[in-house]
A and B are shown apart, each in its own frame.
Chain A
Amino acid sequence: MIKEASANARKTHYTEILNKYGMLLILILLFSALSLKIDGFASFRNIFSILEQVSMFGIIAIGVTFAIVTGGIDLSSGAVVALASVVGASIVTGTEGYGMTIFAFGAAMFVGSICGLINGSITAYGRIPPFIATLGMMTMARGVAQLVSNGRPIDASSDAFTSIGDGSIFGVPGLVVIYVLVAITCHIMMSRMSFGRHVFAIGGNVNTAKICGVNVEITLLKVYILAGALAGLAGAMLTSRAYAGNPTFGNMWELDAIAAAVIGGTSLAGGVGSVPMCIVGALIIGVMNKGLNMLGVDPYWQQIIKGMIIIGAVLLDAQKRKKA
């Protein structure tokens, strides 16, 4: 991208960079400002704490980014988190050892990918807009979660299982390690593999993609399965952090995830987006949440501020597209 821009003209080069890295700049400014204002904000302890809090909806945001880049959306991820959490918890409850832990994580991701498979099939083969398909899944998955758990939290305090959310590797919290691994894998998938190119092609123009030989249906199916599996993974992570699975988990997380993607510059019109920028978007939300909390800002105001930032990001995106 940068290469092309600099080849064209110097002027567009700068705006391009600003467009691309503007949000990163905002993140750095936000963090620096809060560090000046709050004691202990710029400490490793605090940075890891922010990353840990971001990791779960940040992973969902990566999946959602894929969906948005194809021109779709996934509204079901919060509910899938709840479903995966109660499934994971019911597997791991009363057990010991890492075998069951891995099985629980696997099962949570499997349940998530089944939800994604359904989302994807309805979208790709049923030709139903993903907004509607995933809205249905959002209600359904939440219902199944309540059914499975009888509406109650399920205990998940197996030592091995909770050590994922509690422990750390060389001082890096376990959940952050997972976030980084997922981010790297997904970044490679999106930017270096043909799957990623197909995703962008569909988002750019479905018909052109078809003519160029992209199997749109299969690609969409893969995208929603990926998004579901990542939401399931986030559910398992949250369960291990909270020592319990709970059908109320993940409430409105889909919105945080979509906000992270959009703030990171993913265009809701499709065709534009990247994993690193999605992480930047998630971090902006995380830094803001933590900062506003530590400053003691009224929670009502926090919601208002958060809403304004999301709207600001979307307006910015609209402006960019008008110019392009």
Chain B
Amino acid sequence: MIKKTLLAASVVCAASNFAFADTLVIGAPMPSFADKWMSYLFEGINDFNDKHSDVEIKMTDANEDPSKMLNDVDNFIDAGVNALLVVPTDIAIVKPIAKKANRANIPLVIVNRLPDESAMKNVDAYVGSESIQAGIIQAESVVGMLDGKQGNIAILMGVLGHEAQIKRTEGNKQVFSQYSNIKIVAEQEGRWDRAKALQIVEDLLQAHPEINVIVANNDEMAIGALLAARKAGLTDADLIITGVDATPDALEYLGSGLDSTVFQSAKGQGYGGAEIAYKLAKGEKVQKMNWINFELVLEEQKVEYLYKYQ
């Protein structure tokens, strides 16, 4: 009896699946709703969603858990979405996601975290910024501020293995290695996290009092560094601190501890990703690699960039 009802129900359901063919549905599994920077990316996606009446973008939160993200992808595929827009929890998870999407014949757009080449083969489009550029811009601003003085640098890295961590750090080192007055004293993993960075920098400043530059892979860690420096009684003049992302929080600190940051348009990536996914869902052709540029932000540009978040 139950079997029959189930069977009947599934037949009915299969038939009614054709119903929502007029509005496009885009499934968007996201890594974490708790991440501040990410929330601006979501804003970009929602922005696009609001401006287009013929598309509905549904987001899910994986809580930074790769296996939860796989479940979310499964669910969207089962629900028969027209395209997938994914910010992966880590780049290793892209491969199985791509396999699932390919098998179901659903176009897949990856945003923000660049998968390796072999995984990219099965991805329809990528939207993001070239992380190495951020590292280079950031390091060049430090070189400018040091102006020939001795620089003892501590690098705070994001979660090891993230493309942004590897490339931003690489960009930093590429620049620093060209200057004999600059030495990297310490490299530590702050896991993108303010509290973790605060703790690391507290310890670092004790162990290496000669440190006068802190380069962080993102703003949250830069802010952590800045808070640790304040706790240690150091003033703005003692330390050069620089981050990446230009989050509103970081912009507030620009000029009062934080010396520079690099703007990666979260909103731009979210909006751009949504646009590409929308085009793919409609069956249009798109470019495979879509780059969104980084910009250096100093105290002078503070107001201009704060305005972007209004």
- Interface of A toward B, CB cutoff 8 Å: 35, 39-46, 49, 52-53, 56, 150-155, 157, 162, 166, 238, 241-244, 246, 248-252, 289-290, 293-294, 296, 299-300
Write out the residue numbers on chain A whose beta carbons fall within 8 Å of the beta carbon of B93: 153, 242-244, 246
A296: chain B residues within 8 A (beta carbon)? 58
Instruction: Determine if B66 and A246 form an interchain contact, defined as CB atoms under 8 angstroms apart.
Output: yes
Partner of B13, one of A39, A157, A251, A299: A39
For residue B120, CB closer than 8 A to chain A, the reply is no
Chain B residues whose CB sits within 8 angstroms of the CB of A44 once the complex forms: 10
Partner of B10 from the list A40, A166, A238, A246 (CB cut-off 8 Å) is A40
The listed residue (B16, B61, B96, B99) touching A299 by CB distance below 8 A is: B61
Contact A53 to B74, CB < 8 A, known contacts A241-B96, A242-B93 = yes
- Chain B interface size, under 10 / 10 to 19 / 20 to 34 / 35 or more: 35 or more
A39 contacts across to B, CB distance below 8 A: 13, 16-17, 19
- When the two chains form their complex, are residues A290 and B33 in contact, meaning their CB atoms are under 8 A apart? no
Q: A42-B9, A249-B66 are in contact. Are A299 and B90 (CB under 8 A)?
A: no
Which residues of B are interface residues toward A (Cβ below 8 A)? 6, 9-10, 13-14, 16-17, 19, 33, 58, 60-61, 63-67, 70-72, 74-75, 78-80, 89-93, 95-96, 99, 159-161, 189
Select one of A35, A46, A248, A289 contacting B90, CB under 8 A.
A248
Contact A43 B10 (CB under 8 A): yes
User: Which A residue's beta carbon lies closest to that of B93?
Assistant: A242
Given contacts A42-B10, A248-B66, contact A151 B79 (CB under 8 A): no
Contact call A40/B78, Cβ cutoff below 8 A: yes
19 new A-B contacts at CB < 8 Å, known A153-B161, A293-B72? A41-B13, A43-B14, A45-B78, A52-B74, A53-B71, A153-B91, A153-B92, A153-B93, A155-B92, A157-B95, A238-B67, A241-B96, A242-B96, A243-B93, A244-B93, A244-B95, A246-B92, A293-B75, A294-B78
Q: Which 7 A-B pairs have the closest CB atoms?
A: A152-B161, A153-B92, A299-B61, A244-B92, A151-B160, A43-B10, A42-B9
Q: Are A294 and B99 in contact (CB under 8 A)?
A: no
Contact B60 A299 (CB under 8 A): yes
What are 14 residue pairs bridging A and B, where the CB atoms are less than 8 Å apart in the complex? A40-B17, A40-B79, A42-B9, A42-B10, A49-B74, A49-B75, A56-B67, A157-B95, A243-B93, A248-B65, A248-B89, A251-B65, A293-B72, A299-B63
A294 to B60, CA, bound (A): 10
Cross-chain contact of B66 among A41, A150, A242, A289 (Cβ < 8 A)? A242
**Across-interface contacts of B74 in A (CB, < 8 A):** 49, 52-53
Shortest CB distance A238–B (Å): 6
Q: Please, how many angstroms separate the alpha-carbon atoms of A145 and B13 in the complex?
A: 44
* A39-B16, A40-B14, A249-B66 known; A243+B95 contact, CB < 8 A: yes
Which residues of chain A come closer than 8 Å to B17, judged between CB atoms? Answer: 39-40
| Inter-subunit contact B70/A35 (CB<8 Å) | no
- A49-B96 in contact given A44-B10, A246-B66, A251-B65 (Cβ < 8 Å): no
A24-B92 Cα distance, complex, nearest whole Å: 38
Residues in B whose Cβ lies below 8 Å from that of A293: 60, 71-72, 75
Q: Would you call A290 and B65 a contact (CB within 8 A)?
A: no
Residues of B within 8 A of A246 (CB): 66, 90, 92-93
Q: Is the CB of B67 within 8 A of A35?
A: no
Q: In whole angstroms, what is the CA distance A206 to B56 when docked?
A: 58
**Taking the nearest CB of chain A, how far is it from the CB of B127, in angstroms?**
22
Residue of A150, A157, A162, A299 touching B33 (CB-CB under 8 A): A299
Q: Report A-chain residues with C-beta under 8 Å of the C-beta of B61.
A: 299
Taking the closest CB of chain B, its distance from the CB of A95, in whole angstroms, is: 16
Could you say which residues of chain A place their CB within 8 Å of the CB of B9?
35, 42
In the complex, A44 Cα to B14 Cα: how many Å? Answer: 11
Contact of A42 among B13, B60, B89, B159 (CB under 8 A): B13
* Nearest Cβ on chain A to B4's Cβ, whole angstroms: 12
Decide: A294 and B66 in contact? CB cutoff 8 A: no
Establish whether residues B95 and A251, one from each chain, have CB atoms under 8 Å apart when the complex forms.
Answer: no
Give CA–CA (A52, B77) in the complex, Å. Answer: 15
